[in-house]
Structure 1
Amino acid sequence: MLIALNKPYGVLCQFTDRSTPARRTLAEFGLPPAVYPAGRLDFDSEGLLLLTDDGRLAHRLTDPRHKQPKTYWVQVEGTPTAAQLQQLRAGLVLSDGPTRPARVRPIAPPPLWPRDPPVRFRKTVPDAWLELQIHEGRNRQVRRMTAAVGLPTLRLVRVAVGRHRLDGLLPGQWRALETT
């Protein structure tokens, strides 16, 4: 079984939370029993999270050797220059080592749901949207990459993992996917 969930902002990618006060978890979305996340999406990121009850499938979806591209829409603070985009395309050296080259292109603001809470807005600082695709999945990698080139991330939405896309799911909604 493979499930696509649009994980809302401020939800943990696990079914329980032992912190005080407890944070929102996947348990509130009525998912089928025995599924677990195939990969992670940060607490403050949104979008496509795949869940499965099949360990082999989870490995195939998450292991970098299988090169499943992960595509994100990233709202950044500032106006990206050609040099900054080229740095992302070439790969960067982060604190945990070099990244693989990313595919990146500027995009128009995508048609997304409102975020709760809203992204901070500052009249004196422009923002822009990028579509960024990576083949890795390190901790907070996209945020660290954009920050490293001087474009802090304001909002991060994963829209695809491999051939699986968000395709109209609203935050908190899920659907079963074909596994073949």
Structure 2
Amino acid sequence: MHKHYIIYKPYGYLSQFTYNLKRNKKLLGELYNFQAGTMAIGRLDEDSEGLLLLTTDGMMSEIVRGKKVEKEYYAQLDGIIDNEAVEKLKKGVEIGFKGIKYTTKPCMASILNNVPDFPLRGKKIRDERHGPTSWISVTVTEGKFRQVRKMTAAVGFPTLRLIRVRVGNINLGSLQPGEVIDVESFIL
């Protein structure tokens, strides 16, 4: 019987269970006693937070990582993003991927008028002395390495904080950093 988990990956954790390099890293296995054979579906980099799905079912992993399942992120940006930059994001921007230039697929993007109410992050981002920030929502169906961060930087607004809030129909909801929910299946 396969196991499925919904977690809020905290800042500073790797989306993996083993790490063979010498530096100490925080790993997902420290958050919960996952069943043997559990794998993260996609990844969030060490500096990113939010919704992460895990499963023991390789076929489910393939479905979720597919191009039909939307992944929505909230990004706190350095500076006040404008509509022109958001329109560029929507149409696709050129980023680097594996040493070559890549144009992202069209996506959904919008400015968030209210600051999202997320738990404070363990490591402070910065304060108002460094200038204003803004928040956007970006929804993609692809997942290149650090894609959303590269996209916002490409339009002149580097990402300061990145939180995945939705995968398909599954939302982060009221989960808190490090919280894990064991579910029967994923309804995407």
TM-score scaled by structure 1?
0.94
Which residue of 116, 122, 129 maps to 1:110? 116
**Residues 31-40 or 6-15, more deviating:** 31-40
Mapped partners of 2:24, 2:130: distance in 1 = 36
Mapped partners of 1:159, 1:99: distance in 2 = 20
Mapped partners of 2:167, 2:77: distance in 1 = 21
AA matched with 2:39: Y
Mapped partners of 1:17, 1:165: distance in 2 = 28
Partner residue in 1 for 2:51: 48
Correspondence 1:35 to 2:38: yes
Partner residue in 1 for 2:87: 86
CA RMSD in angstroms comes to: 1.2
Percent of paired sites with the same residue: 36
| Unaligned segments of structure 2, at least 5 residues | none
Correspondence 1:169 to 2:175: yes
Deviation digits for residues 6-59 of structure 1, max 9, x if unmatched?
000010111122223311001101142121101111110000010001011000
Which residue of 158, 177, 186 maps to 1:179? 186
Partner residue in 2 for 1:140: 146
Mapped partners of 1:179, 1:90: distance in 2 = 30
Deviation digits for residues 86-130 of structure 1, max 9, x if unmatched?
100111121231111121111111010000101122425210011
The structure-2 alpha-carbon separation of the partners of 1:22 and 1:124, relative to structure 1 and needing over 3 Å to count, comes to closer
Mapped partners of 2:33, 2:151: distance in 1 = 32
Is this contact kept in 1: 2:51–2:172, CA < 8 A?
A: yes
Aligned residues: 178
**Residues 50-59 or 21-30, more deviating:** 21-30
Mapped partners of 1:95, 1:16: distance in 2 = 27
Mapped partners of 1:70, 1:101: distance in 2 = 13
